[in-house]
Amino acid sequence: MEAIKAPRGTYDVLGGESWKWARVVNTARGVADDFGFKEAILPIFEHTELFSRGIGDTTDVVEKEMYTFTDKGGRSITLRPELTASMVRAYLENGLRHGPQPVKLWGWGPMFRYERPQKGRYRQFAQIDFEILGVSSPFADVEIIDSSMEIYRRVGLSNLRVLINSVGCPRCRPDYRESLRKFFETGLDKLCETCRDRFDRNPLRILDCKKPECRELTDSAPPMIDSLCEECKEHFMSVTRGLEKLGADVSLDNKLVRGLDYYTKTAYEILSGDLGAQNAVCGGGRYDNLAEAIGGPGVPGVGFASGIERIIITMEAQGAFMGNEPGTDVFVISAAGAEYEASLLTHELRAKGVSSDMDFMGRSIKSQMKYASQTGAKFVCIIGEDEISSGTATVKNMKDGSQETTRRESVCGKILSWKEAWAQ
């Protein structure tokens, strides 16, 4: 029988890689704490309707990419393709709008989209997601954009481009839609098939098309920025001015759209110069009409989502990961008969905050030493035959090879002082 493999578009993250994930997620958690976002842990599947209404049924995600199935109770269920709609649902369902505003939530985890897998594009991928709900101030938009950039600053990413646009609001967008239709009308036959279909349904999304034949035309399309109403113009100015004050290097991209009625005002994207074709590390913006679209009252919101795999690919390309997977502080090597002592010693070391491991395979001292070195232990502590009889242990620094034999009860203290010196 052929061995079973993971489904197309999925992958395993194992030791050797998972520490990179931990570093990115822990950094996001640190930024969330520093900016006052609270973690939300939400279901991985939701009612299909949440996404068809919350993302919009003319989007690629809803039209082509959702993992939808009927459960045993006959309900239509979808594996979440993104987090924003779930965040807004959770905010409404749990009555968070009756508490102090705004509500700042963050989360991370797997998302599912039936896409054509390639580097940086998977069918199960993970996002970090930040949302500020219940506030329409442009400074919340500034805060969202800054929090995403802070994650990249902290993980050491460079060569990023921040693109921003405004997609207006239900007051000014109909006029813009009309001027776009007028613009595309004459060149309709030059557009790809999908875009010809979008022409009637949602012409803004034509701007988003990556096909060269459409790009040629969209390059000279009228910019949204010229059609904004006073309120949207004012909002956009405040956001860009706010970002400027923070020293953020942001450029206007007239073709950046989210393309749906519930997305309003700010739309932004962060691109990496080191990602190749799938170059977006982050996408976000304001969605003042999303809560209503999923059946709630009007609740303004702004947020971003960033793909963890793409952050890691960019970090790797830029050499932002220093060294290898960190090993334990100590590996305790024991001769036959010293297993109880080794077990007690690791137990004591861990209690003092020193990470440690020991041998369970009955290997020779030499091969335990080799294993300790392979797993990246900073120090080894040897309880060999001599040490057993003299009640001592030999502590060895794996970086410079220096070693010292000490009384068994002084081992923890010795390692703690060496660990401090190692960190400097």
Question: Which residues contact ligand ATP by CB under 6 A?
Answer: 82, 113, 115, 120-122, 125, 127, 278, 280-283, 305-307, 309-310
Q: How far is the CB of 4 from ligand ATP (least distance, A)?
A: 23
Indicate the residue among 86 and 328 with the shorter CB distance to ligand ATP.
86
Q: End-to-end distance of the chain based on CA atoms, in angstroms?
A: 54
Q: How far is the CB of 56 from ligand ATP (least distance, A)?
A: 12
Residues 6 or more apart whose Cβ sits within 8 Å of residue 260: 55, 56, 58, 59, 202
Indicate the residue among 239 and 308 with the shorter CB distance to ligand ATP.
308
Report phi then psi at 225, rounded to 5: -50, -35
Q: How far is the CB of 40 from ligand ATP (least distance, A)?
A: 17
Indicate the residue among 8 and 407 with the shorter CB distance to ligand ATP.
8
Between strands 379-383 and 330-334, the pairing is parallel
CA-to-CA separations, 26 to 18, 22, 91, 108, 146, in angstroms, rounded: 12, 6, 24, 11, 17
Q: How far is the CB of 79 from ligand ATP (least distance, A)?
A: 13
The amino acid present at 343, given as its one-letter code, is S
The Cα–Cα gap between 86 and 65 comes to 17
Q: How far is the CB of 263 from ligand ATP (least distance, A)?
A: 11
The Cα–Cα gap between 404 and 60 comes to 64
The shares of helix, strand and coil residues in the chain, as percent rounded to the nearest 5, are 40, 20, 35
Indicate the residue among 266 and 328 with the shorter CB distance to ligand ATP.
266
Q: Which residue has the tokens 């001015």?
A: 241
Q: How far is the CB of 11 from ligand ATP (least distance, A)?
A: 11
Indicate the residue among 153 and 414 with the shorter CB distance to ligand ATP.
153
Task: Check if the beta carbon of residue 393 is closer than 8 Å to that of residue 383.
Answer: yes
Q: How far is the CB of 82 from ligand ATP (least distance, A)?
A: 5
The Cα–Cα gap between 232 and 298 comes to 17
Indicate the residue among 82 and 131 with the shorter CB distance to ligand ATP.
82
Residue 399 burial (10 A CB sphere; 0-12, 13-18, 19+): exposed
Indicate the residue among 167 and 342 with the shorter CB distance to ligand ATP.
167
